[in-house]
Structure 1
Amino acid sequence: MKYNIKTISIALSLGCLSLVQNSIAQTKVNPPFRVTAESFADLQILRYQVPGFNELNLQQKKLAYYLSEAALSGRDIIYDQSGKYNLLVRKTIENIYSTYKGDRKTADWQKFKTYAGRFWFSNGMHHHYGNEKFIPEHSYSYFTKLVLNSNLKGFPINKAETIPAFLNRLRPLIFDPKFQPKLVDQSPNIDNVTASSNNFYENVSQKEVEDYYSKFDTKGQAPSWGLNTKLLKQNGKIVEKTWKIGGMYGPAIERIVYWLEKAIPVAENAKQKDALQKLVKYYRSGDLKDFDEYSIAWVNDTESRLDVVNGFIEVYKDAIGKKGSFESVVSLKDMEATKRLEAIAKEAQWFEDNSPLMPEHKKKTVKGITAKAITVIMESGDAAPATPIGINLPNANWIRQDHGSKSVSLTNIVHAYNLSSTNSGVLDEFVFDPAVKARIREYGNLSSDLHTDMHECIGHASGQINPGIDNPEKTLKNYSSTLEEARADLVALYYVMDTKLIEIGVMPSLEVGKAEYDSYIMNSLITQLTRLKQGANLEEAHMRNRQLNAMWVYEK
């Protein structure tokens, strides 16, 4: 994941303005696109462009718009999933930000703005990487002043609740570091469910959760039980609240479905239309078998220029890896950059056959790996503002084995990230050897792209579980996500020094592989730690996986 935030409206408005410029204005050279925006706390906000959007026809642009609105309609869901009190705090922050009548030039106001920015960026009150709760740097007394000098009718106050009572209710939520201290706590020898502050469970222990789901059949083509529900105890009985129309998050999902149904008539082809219809069916029923049917239809749509991920997808925010966070990514195919991924995907069987896996873990026939580079149009939920740079879906192992998967690289996101890091000074600070520094400068962007491509396209899509062995989230529990990411990274690292990549034309020499080894070790052991507070534990799955791999090498 990288620090990125969307400014699509700016990028698109520049293109629209060019249509009405007069002949004199048209001769004026546009200034270079500025990728960096504001910085605050430990965040650098980036902008990205959407090349290729103006090439779309009107029907495709309508489709992109409807899918983008569907994506944005899930905003409240990710906040609530990330913490029971996040919507309460967010509405309070936004009312202050919009209506505060006091002095906005003071140091305390800047501290409030920083807190608000961090809250919006993290979709809640916990750091997006470290998972620890962050606290405003201004005092509670100043917060009281902010509330009293804002529109009091705009706050989410309970019926008959006074302002002092409202402030007392908010105080521990915002200012007490011991109240819900970590979003995800994967520390060993504790109850990871009760120690985590997400809103996937309530009044249940980890053992109760595991016992509840142990009764479900998880063999063969069984659904990913629990993916789209909250598990809680009511009146002494454990129940599930399903995320669907008529269920939990019903109003938000109704808006998502409204826009998806607008998108269906302007779908590019029959397969895309079928996938969208199945997605709507799933949101209405909440039945995970319907979600699997949608996932299969989505994998089979390989011809559309536009694509969308929308649903409860990744389980990283759940300490025991069961509950899916809402996310959506709307994209268009990057035709030129896709050639590199297609060259890799074409050789998927060769990579599988020649991998160092035990023979029984190799797929005899690799099916349906669709690899492409995409240009992101819109991201929301768990995919924003801290965006992935690569995606491989679906996550269900049986669908991947029987029907295949889609692996994508988010090229305009990667491009923005590469531009921002060019003059960051990291290489000068952390690389001692001039030859290594020169190699990373020359090949670092390509090596990073190749690693992402191999990680998503070959890594996640490789291998198979032994017959009779249950799903990893059940057998590996809170280690499942980290070990899966580590496995995918190791596949990429294994092949990035293979001349096969030169043979198929995706890299010029093994110097690219060496650059990736240098960068990977440096990032895993040192530079990724700058995203965390000193002394903090690694909790995010990708960060844990990188250090797991690199520390093994270091200790050897």
Structure 2
Amino acid sequence: MEVFAEKFDDIKILRYEIPGFEKLELKKKLYIYYLSQATLAGRDILWDQHGKYNLYLRDVLEAILLNVKDQENPEWQDFLVYLKKVWFASGPHHHYSTDKFTPSFSQQTFKGWIDQLKVGNNNISQEHLDADNIQILLQLIFDPEFCAKRVNTNPQSDLITTSANNFYEGVNQAEVEDFYKMQKENAVNKKISFGLNSKLVKRIEVEEEVYKKGGLYGSAIEVIIENLEKAKDYTENEEQVQIINALVNFYTSGDLESFDEFNILWVKALSGDIDFINGFIETYGDPMGRKATWEGLVQIKDEEETKRAEIIAKNANWFEKHAPVDPQFKKDEIIGISLKAINAVTLGGDCYPASPLGINLPNAEWIREAHGSKSVTLTNISNAHHKASLSTGFSEEFSFSEKEVELEKKYGSVSDNLHTHLHECVGHGSGKMLPGVTSDSLKSFGSVIEETRADLYGLYYMYHPKAMELDLIPDLDAAKAHYNSYLRNGLLTQITRIKLGDKVEQAHMRNRQLISKWVFEKGNNEVVKKETKDGKTYFVIQDYDKLHELFGELLKEIQRIKSEGDYEAAKNIVEGYGVEIDYDLHKEVLERFEKLKVPPFTGFLNPNMNLVKNGSELVDVEVDYNTNYTEQMLKYSKCFNTLKAF
């Protein structure tokens, strides 16, 4: 299988393999197949959550692609790139920066293409071609001020009215804060994740439209439920039946108490090789950190890599006890922690095409403290990343010495996986908040602080003697390789993803820069040294032991901020270290990166999964990797068209 599929603009598309799928028994294959169908069925939900006009935009762009014959026009290639970017981001805003794309084709040309469309072309209805609606569409594509940013995190502005996402309508930030403050005060159960699965709108009064069967996104949720019910016939054990029943109950009722009940069952279910995520999970897409985007993932256990991962989970209490943080912020006992290395089978929603490398759930703090959490690292996704990176020249360009390059090639994959294991299991699974402190105490800075905390746990412990004792790393050089690459990324290479002059916006990027800039500053150019060679800037670690200590010092403060809900301290440390980019350094890095012709962002194609029948009998599920990006996107739009633009 060829890993690389194609590249366009700032994106490369890769393929990932599912090792051993063909050897699975038929029952497991069918369980995976129907879970995968349920994962793909939620695609339109994310598109609509990302923007109220996004499904309309996709319908028109795809209709132009399939019905307009203007391939000789020089602007046609620009149109194709724009469409591919919109597919990738599930809308017209960049998946990382959330800034709106600027098209390279003209409004006049685009209007001419629309004029060639007719009712019946793909999903095109009379409403699609209505003059007023077309005007909105033209505004969406060509007016830089209209729906300019999907997620605005600038605390100086109204986060709701300046964000183009579709979680709120007719309300401002103060009204949102007041609504959920009152909702929580009036609730008997104050533990639920208020507002997680709803859109907040103001008609006459402010009210919630809940995502559920028969409610908002009901037609998509019905297809998800239908495939979950089919999957239930092929489960590996009774626990999986109960989990599916609980999830269906949540999707049917929309009741957040039932979502918590599902999560408790899910986190306790550790038997079986197959698992899945399906639902409204992460809140990064909401500047208030309250509304969750829809995502899905089907996974199968990687037996070999899981052995290493389980060592970490079994020693979670040791890691918690010896963490360099104030004892009052430590859990008395970590319970229910599990860590598996898995191979992704199907990515969906907010996990597709850009995939996470690791996941730790559930997000509800009280469930984590009382019942534990599940962590997974996606081995085949990580391996595909690593294979694709070996021939780019990226490491050679930004590493100060050949030794750094050699360490990266030798240990990069191993150390990346270890840091992800520690980040997901020890990082997200540790620590506690003081009484009265809630997960939304840090407001818009909560996600950055939590990701910073998890990264620091991983960085601190991978260089700790315990890592060697447990045989998690072959030698300290593996940890050094990761320290090199982490700081190189946090101080240099991740800003290749950001336009010159812009600030760091995305939570994970902010956390990596925060950590890297903080240790660089505190080390006074002695622990990490800024070097210049041939007019190029590098950051070179001088003292790994001292760097390890600095990671511990920062972890202590970040855990305090999280545990105490210290908003001002969170704001100061994030804005002081995680947001601003030195203009001259940024310009230099972008110029160096441009010469490599390597897109900074990566997405993945799902393997195709097909039922094989002998008459009416299901006899096999076949997997093939013979698809390209455009084919897969058009297939999903046709086969999983669960929501309508109008």
Q: Same fold (TM over 0.5)?
A: yes
CA RMSD of superposed structures (Å)? 1.6
Report the residue type matching 1:531 in the other structure: R
Classify the secondary structure of the residue corresponding to 2:120: helix
How many residue pairs end up in the alignment?
520
Q: Deviations over 1:189-226 (max 9, x none)?
A: 11111111110011111111111111205898611110
Which of residues 129, 139, 144 in structure 1 aligns to 2:96? Answer: 129
Classify the secondary structure of the residue corresponding to 1:192: coil
Task: From the superposition, tell whether residues 36 and 231 of structure 1 become closer, same or farther in structure 2 (CA, over 3 Å).
Answer: same
Task: From the superposition, tell whether residues 368 and 171 of structure 1 become closer, same or farther in structure 2 (CA, over 3 Å).
Answer: same
Contact persistence 2:53–2:137 (CA under 8 A): no
Superposition deviation, residue 168 in structure 1: 2.3
Classify the secondary structure of the residue corresponding to 1:327: strand
Classify the secondary structure of the residue corresponding to 1:153: coil
Matched, 1:63 2:31: yes
Provide the rounded CA distance (Å) in 2 between the counterparts of 1:525 and 1:234: 47
Contact persistence 1:341–1:371 (CA under 8 A): yes
The equivalent of 2:81 in structure 1 is: 114
The equivalent of 1:543 in structure 2 is: 509
Classify the secondary structure of the residue corresponding to 1:193: coil
The equivalent of 1:366 in structure 2 is: 334
Provide the rounded CA distance (Å) in 2 between the counterparts of 1:328 and 1:278: 16
Provide the rounded CA distance (Å) in 1 between the counterparts of 2:189 and 2:28: 38
Provide the rounded CA distance (Å) in 2 between the counterparts of 1:221 and 1:494: 35
Which of residues 301, 304, 311 in structure 2 aligns to 1:343? Answer: 311
Provide the rounded CA distance (Å) in 2 between the counterparts of 1:245 and 1:346: 40
Report the residue type matching 1:482 in the other structure: V
TM-score, normalised by the number of residues in structure 1:
0.91
What pairs up with 1:58-97 in 2 under 5 angstroms? 58-97=26-65
Classify the secondary structure of the residue corresponding to 2:160: helix
Classify the secondary structure of the residue corresponding to 1:231: strand
Which of residues 180, 197, 209 in structure 2 aligns to 1:228? Answer: 197
Superposition deviation, residue 426 in structure 1: 1.2
Matched, 1:249 2:199: no
Contact persistence 1:182–1:197 (CA under 8 A): yes
What pairs up with 1:148-227 in 2 under 5 angstroms? 148-154=115-121, 164-215=131-182, 216-217=184-185, 222-227=191-196
Classify the secondary structure of the residue corresponding to 1:524: helix
Classify the secondary structure of the residue corresponding to 2:212: coil
Provide the rounded CA distance (Å) in 2 between the counterparts of 1:370 and 1:476: 27
Provide the rounded CA distance (Å) in 1 between the counterparts of 2:383 and 2:62: 32
Superposition deviation, residue 441 in structure 1: 2.0
Task: From the superposition, tell whether residues 155 and 336 of structure 1 become closer, same or farther in structure 2 (CA, over 3 Å).
Answer: closer
Q: Deviations over 1:398-425 (max 9, x none)?
A: 1111111110000010010000111111
Contact persistence 1:392–1:407 (CA under 8 A): yes
What pairs up with 1:452-531 in 2 under 5 angstroms? 452-469=420-437, 471-473=438-440, 475-531=441-497
Classify the secondary structure of the residue corresponding to 1:120: helix
TM-score, normalised by the number of residues in structure 2:
0.78
Matched, 1:416 2:384: yes
The equivalent of 2:235 in structure 1 is: 267
Classify the secondary structure of the residue corresponding to 1:195: coil
Classify the secondary structure of the residue corresponding to 2:247: helix
Contact persistence 2:119–2:126 (CA under 8 A): no
Deviates more, 1:284-293 or 1:208-217: 208-217
The equivalent of 1:388 in structure 2 is: 356
Contact persistence 2:127–2:133 (CA under 8 A): no
Superposition deviation, residue 438 in structure 1: 1.9
Deviates more, 1:185-194 or 1:115-124: 185-194
Provide the rounded CA distance (Å) in 2 between the counterparts of 1:338 and 1:50: 16
Which of residues 498, 522, 527 in structure 2 aligns to 1:532? Answer: 498
Structure 1 alignment gaps of length 5 or more: 1-32
What pairs up with 1:432-447 in 2 under 5 angstroms? 432-447=400-415
Provide the rounded CA distance (Å) in 2 between the counterparts of 1:551 and 1:277: 47
Task: From the superposition, tell whether residues 298 and 429 of structure 1 become closer, same or farther in structure 2 (CA, over 3 Å).
Answer: same
Contact persistence 1:99–1:151 (CA under 8 A): no
Superposition deviation, residue 167 in structure 1: 3.2
Task: From the superposition, tell whether residues 161 and 310 of structure 1 become closer, same or farther in structure 2 (CA, over 3 Å).
Answer: closer
The equivalent of 2:639 in structure 1 is: none
The equivalent of 1:147 in structure 2 is: 114
Matched, 1:311 2:311: no
Contact persistence 1:130–1:540 (CA under 8 A): yes
The equivalent of 2:394 in structure 1 is: 426
Superposition deviation, residue 105 in structure 1: 4.1
Task: From the superposition, tell whether residues 259 and 536 of structure 1 become closer, same or farther in structure 2 (CA, over 3 Å).
Answer: same
Q: Deviations over 1:138-164 (max 9, x none)?
A: 101111222233444337677578665
Q: Deviations over 1:373-415 (max 9, x none)?
A: 1111101101110110000000011111111111000001001
The ranges of structure 1 where at least 4 consecutive aligned residues each deviate by more than 6 angstroms after the TM superposition are 155-158, 218-221
Which of residues 46, 49, 60 in structure 1 aligns to 2:17? Answer: 49
Report the residue type matching 1:549 in the other structure: I
Report the residue type matching 1:147 in the other structure: I
Contact persistence 1:157–1:166 (CA under 8 A): no
Provide the rounded CA distance (Å) in 2 between the counterparts of 1:164 and 1:497: 62
Superposition deviation, residue 109 in structure 1: 1.1
